[in-house]
Amino acid sequence: MEEFLKPFRALSDETRLRMLNILTQQEYCVCEVMQALNVSQTRASRNLKILEEAGFLKSRREGTWIHYSLNGDPPRNFAAALAKVTGEYAGKNPAFKKDHAQLKKAKQMGLCCGGNLKNCRKP
């Protein structure tokens, strides 16, 4: 029962819903999520980890940076289905649209990974 409840608990927080919405578009590193949501690195990392443990996300390390993306692996189909439905709803919500706009602005300004985007993601 715990594995069934974990995704619902993860979705009970506004910050995590906003993060899930951002990550429905593509993979992002922690610093990009921080910039989009205007949260601290600690808060971003903690909430991304909760989403990962609930089965919504998967992560990969590249140097000192951790990149997160939606987890579509078969054992987590339930979480993947919830992520899809959440993303479809979020795409219509003005608050979630604002997060995407902030993310786009941060990427244009090069605010990710200490101002060095090549450290964050490959061009």
The pLDDT score that the predictor gives to residue 40 is: 95
Q: How confident is the model at residue 123 (pLDDT cuts 50, 70, 90)?
A: very low
| Verdict on whether the full-model pTM lies above 0.85 | no
- Give me the CATH topology for the region 2-120: Arc Repressor Mutant, subunit A (1.10.10)
The rounded distance, in Å, linking the Cα atoms of 102 and 73 is 29
pLDDT single digits (tens) 11-49:
899 999 899 888 888 899 999 999 999 999 999 999 999
**Secondary structure element (H or E) that encloses residue 66, with its range:** strand 65-70
- The larger pLDDT score, comparing residue 84 to residue 37, is at 37
The rounded distance, in Å, linking the Cα atoms of 116 and 106 is 12
- 91 φ/ψ angles, rounded to the nearest 5 degrees: -60, -20
Q: Quick check: 116 pLDDT over 70?
A: no
- The larger pLDDT score, comparing residue 81 to residue 68, is at 68
Mean pLDDT across the chain, nearest whole number?
A: 80
Q: Quick check: 65 pLDDT over 70?
A: yes
Average of per-residue pLDDT across 40-62: 93
The rounded distance, in Å, linking the Cα atoms of 43 and 13 is 12
Q: Quick check: 59 pLDDT over 80?
A: yes
Name the residue ranges covered by the structural domains of the chain: 2-120
